[in-house]
Amino acid sequence: MSADIPPASPGPADAPRDPAPAPRDPADAPRDPADALRDPADVVGGPADAARDPADEILDVVDEHDTVVAQVPRGDVYARGLRHRCVFVEARDAEGRVFVHRRTPTKLVFPSLYDMFVGGVVGAGESYDDAALREAEEELGVTGLPRPVPLFTFLYDDGAGRSWWSAVYEVRCPRPVDPQAEEVAWHGFLSDEELAARVEEWQWVPDGLAAYERLRALRAHSSPPGG
């Protein structure tokens, strides 16, 4: 776990603070003061594939109905704006707090921004469910998680060439986390109230924010009156 940081802005006194909030320009992001040993693997296949360039990972390209139409290296998928598949996993600790992190400046997409989900791209031929478990264990740095529970899917499209089918999950992680240094520059656990406050203050990945807003709406609709 990362050490508590003195408050940088108004908010709950016990909310963990990022020692280096994401700058407007991702190129200005400071280096991660890593506080724990982390798994170096950053691609499908685990440590044996750690030396591979993530841009070479093969992804399924899909159409507007989420039907696979091609298989293309990740780097080309991003460069050409091809629609693919991603998973978003909301991870909570034993106290029900949400795992929140800041992405490293080396990430191919949305470097140095905050995220309230763990997850990533679905590999070629991989199911959403398998990708959700793999990504959750990799990014949290744990093993033996229960399979994440699927909640809903939606098509994310920013209107500027970034589009992916997105499957949203939730999982409980009661054990200590040890996030990957290659994936996570900072992390902490926030209550729902703390997270809602930080959404207004920090810079978040746009697809994660879209998933978060849909998830909040779903839970509000599902809650009993007065609940």
Structural domain includes residue 131: yes
With a cut of 80, say whether residue 27 has pLDDT above it.
Answer: no
Is the alpha carbon torsion for 41, 46, 48, 53 positive or negative?
negative
Domain count, the chain: 1
pLDDT tens by residue, 135-192: 999 999 999 999 999 999 999 999 888 999 999 999 999 999 999 888 899 999 999 9
- The residue segments making up the domain with residue 195 are 52-220
Q: Are 34 and 183 in contact (CB under 8 A)?
A: no
Q: Are 202 and 184 in contact (CB under 8 A)?
A: no
CATH code where residue 83 lies: 3.90.79.10
pTM: 0.77
Give the per-residue pLDDT at 17.
63
Report the DSSP pairing between strands 84-92 and 163-172. Answer: parallel
Structural domain includes residue 166: yes
Nearest to 149 by CA among 177, 175, 170: 170
pLDDT tens by residue, 87-104: 999 999 999 999 999 999
